[in-house]
């Protein structure tokens, strides 16, 4: 089942990346879209100052449901991991904020998105970024190696959310934090009802409920968990801001 989910998601977002290589917006396939439509997402979720910092292709490839850069409150010199980095929009924005003494890692499983992100980084002249291939359920970084984990509408796509939360806790340094935007379901919706409202690749069928999301983060050892709805994506399904911290060492 996990491999089937990975392949479904990989194929969908590979096609989105190829559209951008053809200088077209990474539009959704049918109803399969995370958050706002691809044509409006960069306008609604990133202000003009953010967009002006980026190559056009990074903006065209944006398929998120929020702006984790506005959530994470990044600081100079920090090390940041972006789970499901796609075309690199949040990696590049993070790189500006952490500065030359910081570093930003982008993790994605899709070759086409990684190639697009590498090109965007080169076009932006970003030297403090690194893109990694892999699954967000098995992050290819050492334990306690990053200060902040960000993600933009990707955790809902994971085949094993518990593994994702465990990996977030593992790679965060003590006192580290997460600043994530994601799709979250109302607690009353069953998994079947979530699937009725949208596909897995469209970020709906795989969404956790508010209670499931909070419980998963707490069970992974994170504290100060906060999940706040920002807007309704569809009936019973919300775009949300997720924050949590890893306890500091005793």
pLDDT in tens, 56-82: 555 554 556 778 888 899 999 999 999
Going from N- to C-terminal start, the domains of the chain cover 2-245
Q: Whole-prediction pTM value?
A: 0.84
Residue 30 has pLDDT above 50, yes or no: no
pLDDT in tens, 226-250: 999 999 989 999 999 999 999 997 4
DSSP state of 73: -
Q: Which residue has the higher pLDDT, 173 or 233?
A: 173
Tokens of 65: 């449901």
Considering only the top CATH level, what class is 2-245?
Answer: alpha beta
Nearest one of 36, 99, 45, 48 to 70, comparing CA atoms: 45
Q: What percent of the chain is predicted at pLDDT more than 70?
A: 75
Residue 185 has pLDDT above 50, yes or no: yes
pLDDT number for residue 137: 96
What's the number of CA atoms in the CB half-sphere (13 Å) around residue 99? Answer: 6
């Amino acid at each position: 089942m996990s491999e089937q989910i990975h392949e479904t998601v990989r194929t969908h977002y590979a096609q989105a990346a190829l559209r951008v290589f053809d200088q077209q917006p990474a539009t959704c396939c049918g109803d399969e879209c995370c958050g706002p439509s691809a044509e409006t997402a960069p306008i609604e979720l990133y202000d003009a100052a953010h967009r002006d910092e980026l190559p056009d292709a990074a903006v065209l490839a944006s398929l998120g449901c929020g702006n984790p850069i506005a959530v994470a409150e990044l600081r100079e010199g920090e090390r940041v991991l972006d789970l499901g980095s796609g075309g690199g929009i949040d990696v590049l924005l993070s790189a500006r904020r952490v500065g030359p003494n910081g570093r930003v890692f982008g993790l994605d499983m899709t070759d086409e998105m990684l190639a697009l992100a590498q090109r965007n980084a080169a076009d932006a002249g970003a030297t403090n970024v690194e893109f990694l291939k892999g699954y967000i359920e098995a992050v290819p970084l050492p334990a306690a190696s990053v200060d902040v984990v960000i993600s933009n509408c990707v955790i809902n796509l994971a085949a094993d959310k518990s593994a994702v939360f465990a990996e977030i806790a593992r790679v965060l340094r003590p006192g580290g934090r997460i600043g994530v935007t994601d799709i979250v379901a109302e607690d009353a919706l069953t998994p079947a009802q979530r699937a009725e409202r949208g596909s897995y690749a469209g970020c709906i069928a795989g969404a956790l409920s508010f209670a499931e999301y909070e419980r998963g983060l707490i069970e992974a050892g994170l504290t100060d968990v906060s999940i706040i709805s920002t807007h309704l994506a569809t009936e019973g399904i919300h775009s949300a801001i997720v924050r949590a911290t890893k306890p500091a060492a005793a």
